[in-house]
Amino acid sequence: MPDTAIKTEILIHDLKVPISVIDAGAKSLLNRQDTYGPLTEKQIKVLKRIIRNALTTQRLVNDVLELGRSREGVMITRDFYVSSLVMTVLVEIFDLADPAAVDVIRKVHSYEELCRVVEDFGVKLAFDSKVWKTVVHLDEAKVRQILRNLVTNAFKYKAAFVEIAGSIEGKLLTLCVRDDGRGIPPSDHQKIFKTYFSTGSSLDNAIKSHGLGLAGVMVLLKDMGGEMNLNSNDGKGAEFIVKIPL
Ligand SMILES: Nc1ncnc2c1ncn2[C@@H]1O[C@H](COP(=O)(O)OP(=O)(O)OP(=O)(O)O)[C@@H](O)[C@H]1O
Ligand SMILES: [Mg+2]
């Protein structure tokens, strides 16, 4: 790796410490009012926002470091359930978008119950029950980052719903993320995988559109020997299909 790249990555790495200090400070004020003094409703709201955003920053830092790890070809594989992968991604996304959903999602006991609950929040799940309970052996951080990016995009562009599906055939894990939004014109199908190509409005939220998500997904996928297919047309929604060898 070139020196400048290492320097940038170490700098990003070192952001972890101040972020966790911000996080811990806000949590102390919130959870230890006996020591730090009572809070008003409005102060509690602000502190919760700080904590949520510290978490987002932590995730972004982790994502950048994960990409660096990928570029160097480092894989850390382990066993994990397909269900826990999907649950983690849903919790991460709703943590920011709709914290009320997280409380409900955390309490569910079965796949069927989860489906009913998330439907109210615009998510359809389409896993067959066997896949849902399957343990796979992969680099979980990479797979999670891939799924999170696809689902985040789908949420950004959906009209009414996002569908997440999964299946396993032979030695291939397929994850499919679909939405019913504005879709992607064929002329953009190549471009969207390039770094810094984004049609997301920076006015909505400066953090949300860098045009890096899909480019990162491609780096991670290539590293795992996976591939991605896109089905989409103007105004017809988008479907991203990821295949990862097990
Ligand atoms: N589900 C989708 N529906 C419609 N357009 C999409 C969808 N997913 C991606 N795109 C298009 O692809 C572009 C690139 O996506 P990508 O995730 O790389 O960047 P981004 O979402 O704009 O920013 P970020 O860096 O925050 O991910 C988007 O700006 C958008 O134009
Ligand atoms: Mg994105």
Q: Residue 138's closest CA among 80, 188, 99? A: 80
In this prediction, residue 12 carries a pLDDT of 84
Question: pLDDT at position 208, please?
Answer: 56
CB atoms closer than 10 angstroms to residue 58: 16
Distance CA 86, CA 125 (A): 10
**Is residue 114 predicted with pLDDT exceeding 50?**
yes
Residues with CB under 6 A from ligand 1: 149, 153-154, 157, 179, 181-184, 192, 197-200, 208-215, 238
The atom of ligand 1 lying closest to the CA of 193 is 18
Per the CB < 8 A criterion, the answer to whether 140 and 85 are in contact is yes
| Arithmetic mean of pLDDT over the chain | 89
How far does CA 20 lie from the centroid of its chain? 20
Strand blocks (E) in the chain: 78-81, 123-127, 135-138, 162-169, 172-179, 227-232, 238-245
Calpha distance 156→150 (Å, rounded)? 10
Q: What is the pLDDT of residues 84-112, one digit of tens each?
A: 999 999 988 887 777 788 889 989 999 99
**Nearest ligand, measured from the Cα of 211:** 1
Q: 13-39: per-residue pLDDT in tens? A: 888 889 999 999 999 999 999 999 999
pLDDT of 45-91, one tens digit each?
999 989 988 988 888 888 888 888 887 778 889 999 999 999 999 98
Our mutation pick for probing the ligand 1 site, out of 56, 147, 153, counting the most ligand atoms within 8 A of Cβ, is: 153
Give residue for tokens 């562009």: 157
Cβ proximity of 161 and 124 under 8 Å: yes
Mutate to test the pocket of ligand 1, among 158, 163, 192 (most ligand atoms within 8 A of CB): 192
d(CA 97, CA 92): 9
Question: What pTM did the predictor assign?
Answer: 0.85
